[in-house]
């Protein structure tokens, strides 16, 4: 039996010829550009904000009619919707105002019921909300001032 020995040059030649027969590597797929949509431009977003405004109006009317319990139910129902409209990257001014108005109303309800700590948190949230809003306007300054006054009232009662 005869043995064939390959020298190093022959082995390199065989390896190169086998490598040349291999299929070419496939290029990586081009990155797909994601089309960014503005969720605040959707009709459902605008409807949700309008519903929040209507819920605030209804709850405020119930408070005026001395029906705080029913107003509380409405404010509680509004919470998931409020979170939804505020969860977008850049909520609209209308959404911020609707959320702020509901938090303010609920804060005053809690203040009336002597839940000073929880009320204070809602007023503090409104202060933070409007301090971080851009652009700052007379309206944002007015809202900050109202929330600060309500928070100070909570602090006075907590200290008692």
pTM of the model: 0.75
Check pLDDT > 70 for residue 71. yes
Q: Count H helices and E strands in the chain, helices first.
A: 6, 0
What pLDDT, on the 0 to 100 scale, is given for residue 29?
A: 74
The mean pLDDT value of the chain amounts to 88
Torsion of CA 82, 87, 93, 94, to 10 degrees: -30
Angle (nearest 5°) at CA 108 between 102 and 112: 145
Check pLDDT > 90 for residue 123. yes
What pLDDT, on the 0 to 100 scale, is given for residue 12?
A: 64
The pLDDT tens digits for 72-108 are 999 999 999 999 999 999 999 999 999 999 999 999 9
Give the residue extent of every domain in the chain. 41-159
Check pLDDT > 80 for residue 125. yes
Residues 51 and 81: their CA atoms lie apart, in Å, by 9
């Amino acid at each position: 039996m005869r043995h064939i020995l390959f020298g190093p040059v022959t082995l390199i030649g065989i390896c190169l010829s086998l490598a040349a027969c291999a299929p070419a590597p496939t290029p990586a797929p081009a990155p797909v550009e994601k089309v960014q949509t503005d969720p605040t431009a959707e009709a459902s977003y605008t409807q949700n904000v309008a519903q929040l405004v209507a819920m605030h109006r209804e709850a405020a009317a119930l408070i005026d009619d001395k029906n705080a319990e029913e107003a509380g139910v409405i404010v509680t129902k509004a919470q998931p919707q409020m979170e939804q409209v505020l969860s977008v990257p850049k909520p609209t001014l209308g959404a911020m105002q609707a959320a702020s108005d509901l938090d303010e109303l609920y804060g005053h309800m809690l203040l009336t019921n002597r839940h000073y700590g929880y009320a204070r948190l809602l007023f503090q949230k409104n202060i933070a909300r409007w301090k971080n809003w851009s652009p700052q306007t007379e309206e944002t300054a007015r809202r900050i001032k109202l929330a600060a006054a309500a928070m100070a009232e909570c602090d006075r009662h907590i200290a008692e």
